[in-house]
């Protein structure tokens, strides 16, 4: 009776499985184990599973076993760093995890030592860890090779279903199996196969041998002969059915810096994974491995400098590729532009210092969307290529290309590639059923002949296995599947760039929005708030110290050490809020430390500035520094808590000395229980606690439609997947408006500042808001304190404004993004929550309204309603995400003209970085402006000490999409360099204007 191809394939798989039970000829248990110095037996529970524990044992392999065929098999019950030490002092280290449990040895006598944790690669606790297996085996290499080859044939036949080659593959495999001389002794056979799934279902197995006999020499020889014949037949088939397509394999081990485990465990994962990769390189000249993230190498430099030296050697040999060029693989939606600059600046400098090279490829496989500012930042950091894979996760719409030019806000382009591997994405496998669909899914194959494929266990690290390396060699001789060889990421992109010069590749213009994981803009808002405060505190500290240097003080010290902490916590599973609670305890503590250090630096810089100001007769002086490029009216909070809000101007990047006695409030500030008013705004608070009227006096326009700052709770924030990551589009179908406040009262009524307090309760949570208007304010601040104790709920503010526009303006790194306010297409429908930095604006000709914030990122703009997500409370992976109290401020700002004409950006800057002041005595009143910027309005990124040599580095950017004249005015004896890149090196600049739309410009300032 003839069987179908499918039936024959099933039979082949069953018969192939049998070979695995005869893979070892003999085995020898390793006894005498200790657990933290105390004896532990095979299959015994760990005495405890707290922290890192240490196993130890000694092993001696039988003299009649060929050394090269001996393997150590271990399963200790978790993840381990395994070290084998030999009598001559030589040692070798490996990572031990569920995917790496078999190891070669270099001598017959050796000691075994581990550092182990009772956890699996994704952080899951092993709640009942045991010493499961510890033995030496004599590997029957012919059986092992044949089993693997037959397994790969079955995988190839499966994925090539319908291809003409499939019957030939099955024929060849069947002939190989029929040629075997196979054992059948009852006792040995039953004992060998007892572990099979089928046998484990039997009511009661007969008595089993402890160490059943393996294949005889003749039987093993029949497997060797079958393997050779089968490989020869595959080569013959390859002539008739050539390999189709080409994949460049890069060994990889994506290690999340922190995610379902704290950073302390990541430090151990690094050592385990890196040692595993090095051990594979020792045994394969072809294997290539890539690992990004300067932070990891800097940590290894501290934890295991000998390991770093071994890695450096492999980097020099071209086997280990330090890819990426950034400090970590960061989120790119939320960091400010200057943070992204520092990712590249400090990353590239580290790689160059320690490995003698810079990177040309940005490696961000796992991030949740990409800012349109990134292409320009990368190009200015010497990086012309970009890799990701997460764009394939979008739920509704997909970028139509996978090899394309990505064009950023300013027009800069980087060559971008993404592959679509359905088998674990960037954690791919070396096997036919991974290769074939990855090549099939490659849409750029008509323009370029190769796609990239990253392989190796990842997210929790681990990386490539010895079997993967062995599989690659076997698959070289297979017919019909894609050709796949180890190579370098850099080499792939070099070849792709040659293609791009010869052929016109598609272009994707602007941000790359991920239609998934939108809730990462809101979850864990505590770390987001501290991160923004840390960014701003460092930038301001550098600016104050640099201004002091321009007035005669010493050159400031680098704050790179603190910047590294901020950059580390921008990692794409920390800042987005998708990690466990322990990660956020660490992150908030670290960021608090940065903020504290930066505030000390600011205070020291203010004292230094004051010491370099002209002496005078003002005994009650207020020294005020404006660390931005926009003039601002004086608003300051004094040491005794007094608020000043005068009309006195503070010039950009200036130091101004005021006589406090002469400072008066700006105009007449009026307030009662439901009304606030100054010379710019008239505000009415309704009985529901919302803003019922917001009059912009300069135009006479009502800014809102109905009521603004409506607080809505959505109690069904329960995504179908990825609890901390996602918010499903139907969350709004059940909303509860908080419109019955427990209290409304006037709590401040001074000449400089007035405030109305509104208190709400929702179930177990409270929201307290202060509507604040200062005498000189052009915006209504809403100072908010939330005490949250309800799970899986989302709190948002909705603001219907009296404006009609088809687009809204969202601030992003180094510029803005214009997004549609309608839902005509599936692309717009999918963008129901999107990132904004300090403001979202809705304007029509002549008038607009902006929603500003100092700590939030998740926004929406639908029709005339600007929304912002304030807090959400998922239960996985942190059951207590955002539990408790948090405070932040957002603001409503009506304005005349477009957002850039109406002063939205200066007000957003002021909300996030108020003027900096110090009280002093014996100074002369007046203003010093060490640095002047003239021409088209631009925005400030940083003023910092140069990384090399003397001088300062100034970085500005054009924020609105305009071009024009720009010039610097420096103190006598100072000069500015020509244009620099972000690595602070001279570049050729070709722009027809002094500054072009969204351009980032950098100069070095130094004494001539």
Buried b (16+ CB within 10 A) or exposed e, 201-222: eeeeeeeeeeebbbbeeebbeb
Cα four-point dihedral sign 274, 278, 279, 283 = positive
Of the residues 24, 256, 304, 366, which is catalytic? 366
What count of Cα atoms within 13 Å lies in the side-chain half-sphere of residue 881? 30
**Cβ burial, residue 816 (10 Å; 0-12/13-18/19+):** buried
Buried b (16+ CB within 10 A) or exposed e, 52-61: bbebbbebeb
Residue 416 per-residue DSSP state: E
Residue 659 known to be catalytic: no
Six token digits for residue 841? 């604006």
Residues 337, 526, 956, CA angle at the centre, nearest 5°? Answer: 15
Residues 865, 871, 873, CA angle at the centre, nearest 5°? Answer: 130
For helices 337-355 and 560-568, what crossing angle results, to 10°?
110
Nearest to residue 937, comparing CAs of 630, 649, 651? 630
Q: Say if residues 587 and 574 touch (Cβ distance below 8 Å).
A: yes
Beta strands in 775-864 (DSSP E): 780-788, 794-800, 807-812, 815-820, 834-835, 839-844, 847-853, 858-862
Six token digits for residue 411? 């027009």
Six token digits for residue 850? 């902006």
Alpha-helix runs per DSSP H in 80-162: 141-159
In angstroms, rounded to a whole number, what is the distance separating the alpha carbons of residues 1005 and 38?
A: 64
In angstroms, rounded to a whole number, what is the distance separating the alpha carbons of residues 463 and 467?
A: 12
Max Cα-Cα span within the chain:
111
Buried b (16+ CB within 10 A) or exposed e, 643-657: bbbbebebebbbbbb
In angstroms, rounded to a whole number, what is the distance separating the alpha carbons of residues 947 and 980?
A: 13
Cα four-point dihedral sign 58, 59, 63, 67 = negative
Six token digits for residue 197? 């799934």
In angstroms, rounded to a whole number, what is the distance separating the alpha carbons of residues 200 and 187?
A: 16
Six token digits for residue 899? 């957002």
Catalytic residue ranges: 366
């Amino acid at each position: 009776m003839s069987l179908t191809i499918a039936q024959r394939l099933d039979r082949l798989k069953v018969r192939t499985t049998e070979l695995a039970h005869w893979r070892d000829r003999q085995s020898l248990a390793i006894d005498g184990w200790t657990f933290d110095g105390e004896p532990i037996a095979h299959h015994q529970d760990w005495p405890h599973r707290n922290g890192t524990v240490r196993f130890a044992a000694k092993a001696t392999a039988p003299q009649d076993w060929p050394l090269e065929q001996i393997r150590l098999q271990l399963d200790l019950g978790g993840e381990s760093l395994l070290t084998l030490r030999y009598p001559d002092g030589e040692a070798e280290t490996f990572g031990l995890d569920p995917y790496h449990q078999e190891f070669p040895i270099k001598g017959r006598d050796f000691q075994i030592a581990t550092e182990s944790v009772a956890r699996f690669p994704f952080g899951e606790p092993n709640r009942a860890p045991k010493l499961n297996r510890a033995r030496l085996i004599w590997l029957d290499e012919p059986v092992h090779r044949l089993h693997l080859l037959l397994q790969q044939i079955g995988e190839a036949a499966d994925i090539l279903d319908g291809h003409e080659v499939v019957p030939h593959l099955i024929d060849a495999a069947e002939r190989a199996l029929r040629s075997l001389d196979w054992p059948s002794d009852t006792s040995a056979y039953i004992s060998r196969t007892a572990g099979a799934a089928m046998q484990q279902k039997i009511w009661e197995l007969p008595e089993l041998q402890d160490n059943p006999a393996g294949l005889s020499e003749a039987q093993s020889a029949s497997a060797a002969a079958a393997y050779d014949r089968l490989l020869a037949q595959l080569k013959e088939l390859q002539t008739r059915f050539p390999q189709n397509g080409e994949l460049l394999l890069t060994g990889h081990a994506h290690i999340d810096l922190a995610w379902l485990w704290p950073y302390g465990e990541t430090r151990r994962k690094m050592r385990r994974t890196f040692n595993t990769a090095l051990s594979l390189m020792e045994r394969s000249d072809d294997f290539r491995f890539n690992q990004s993230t300067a932070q990891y190498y800097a940590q290894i430099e501290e934890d295991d400098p000998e390991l770093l030296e071994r890695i450096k050697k492999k980097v020099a040999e071209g086997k280990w590729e330090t890819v990426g060029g950034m400090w970590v693989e960061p989120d790119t939606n939320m960091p400010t532009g200057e943070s992204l600059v520092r990712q590249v600046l400090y990353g590239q400098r580290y790689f160059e210092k320690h490995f003698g090279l810079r990177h040309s490829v940005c490696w961000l496989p796992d991030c949740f969307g990409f800012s349109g500012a990134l292409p320009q930042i990368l190009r200015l950091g010497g990086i012309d290529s970009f890799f990701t894979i997460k764009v394939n996760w979008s739920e509704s719409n997909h970028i139509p290309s996978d090899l394309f030019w990505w064009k950023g806000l300013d027009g800069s382009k980087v060559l971008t590639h993404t592959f679509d591997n359905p088998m674990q994405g960037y954690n791919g496998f070396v096997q036919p059923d991974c290769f074939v669909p990855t090549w099939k899914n490659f849409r750029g194959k008509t323009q370029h002949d190769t796609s990239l494929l990253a392989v190796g266990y990842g997210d929790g690290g681990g990386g490539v296995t010895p079997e993967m390396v062995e599989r690659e060699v076997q698959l070289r001789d297979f017919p019909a599947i894609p050709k796949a060889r180890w190579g370098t990421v850099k080499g792939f992109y070099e070849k792709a760039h040659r293609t791009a010069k010869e052929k016109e590749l598609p272009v994707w213009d602007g941000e790359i929005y991920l239609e998934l994981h939108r809730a990462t803009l809101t979850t864990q808002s505590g770390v987001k708030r501290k991160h923004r405060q840390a960014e701003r505190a460092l930038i301001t500290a550098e600016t104050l110290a640099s201004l002091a240097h321009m007035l005669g003080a010493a050159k400031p010290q680098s704050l790179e050490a603190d910047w590294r902490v901020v950059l580390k916590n921008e990692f794409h599973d920390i800042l987005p809020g998708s990690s466990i609670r322990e990660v956020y305890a660490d992150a908030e503590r670290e960021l608090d430390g940065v903020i504290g250090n930066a505030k000390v630096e600011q205070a020291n810089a203010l004292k230094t500035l004051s010491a370099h100001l002209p002496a005078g007769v003002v005994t009650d002086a207020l020294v005020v520094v404006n660390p931005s490029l926009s003039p601002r009216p004086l608003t300051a909070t004094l040491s005794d808590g007094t608020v000043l809000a005068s009309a006195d101007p503070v010039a950009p990047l200036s130091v101004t000395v005021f006589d406090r006695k002469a400072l008066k409030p700006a105009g007449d500030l009026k307030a009662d229980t439901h009304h606030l008013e100054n010379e710019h705004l008239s505000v009415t608070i309704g009985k529901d606690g919302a803003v019922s009227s917001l009059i912009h006096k300069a135009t006479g326009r009502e800014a809102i439609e109905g009521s603004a700052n409506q607080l809505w709770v959505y109690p069904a924030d329960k995504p179908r997947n990825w609890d901390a990551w996602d918010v499903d589009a139907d969350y709004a179908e059940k909303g509860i408006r908080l419109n019955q406040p427990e209290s409304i009262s006037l709590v401040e009524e001074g000449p400089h500042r007035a405030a109305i307090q509104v208190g709400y309760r929702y179930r177990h949570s409270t929201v307290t808001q202060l509507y604040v208007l200062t005498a000189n304010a052009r915006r209504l601040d809403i100072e908010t304190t939330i005490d949250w104790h309800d799970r899986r709920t989302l709190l948002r503010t909705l603001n219907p404004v009296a404006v009609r526009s088809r687009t809204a303006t969202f601030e992003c790194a180094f510029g803005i993004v214009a997004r549609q306010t309608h839902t005509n297409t599936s692309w717009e429908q999918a963008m129901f929550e999107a990132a904004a930095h300090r403001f979202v604006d809705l304007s029509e000709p002549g008038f607009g309204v902006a929603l500003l914030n100092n700590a939030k990122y998740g926004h929406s703009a639908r029709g005339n309603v600007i929304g912002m997500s304030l807090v959400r409370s998922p239960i996985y992976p942190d059951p207590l995400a955002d539990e408790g109290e948090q405070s932040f401020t957002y603001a409503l700002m009506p304005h005349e003209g477009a957002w850039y004409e109406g002063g939205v950006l200066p007000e957003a800057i002021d909300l996030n970085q108020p003027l900096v002041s110090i009280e002093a005595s014996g100074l002369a009143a007046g203003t010093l402006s060490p640095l002047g910027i003239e021409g088209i309005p631009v925005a400030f990124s940083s003023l910092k000490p140069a990384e090399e040599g003397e001088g300062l580095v100034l970085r500005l950017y054009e924020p609105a999409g305009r071009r024009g004249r720009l010039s610097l005015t420096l103190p006598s004896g100072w000069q500015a360099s020509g244009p620099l890149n972000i690595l602070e090196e001279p570049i050729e600049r070709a722009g027809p204007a002094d500054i072009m739309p969204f351009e980032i410009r950098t100069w070095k300032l130094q004494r001539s």
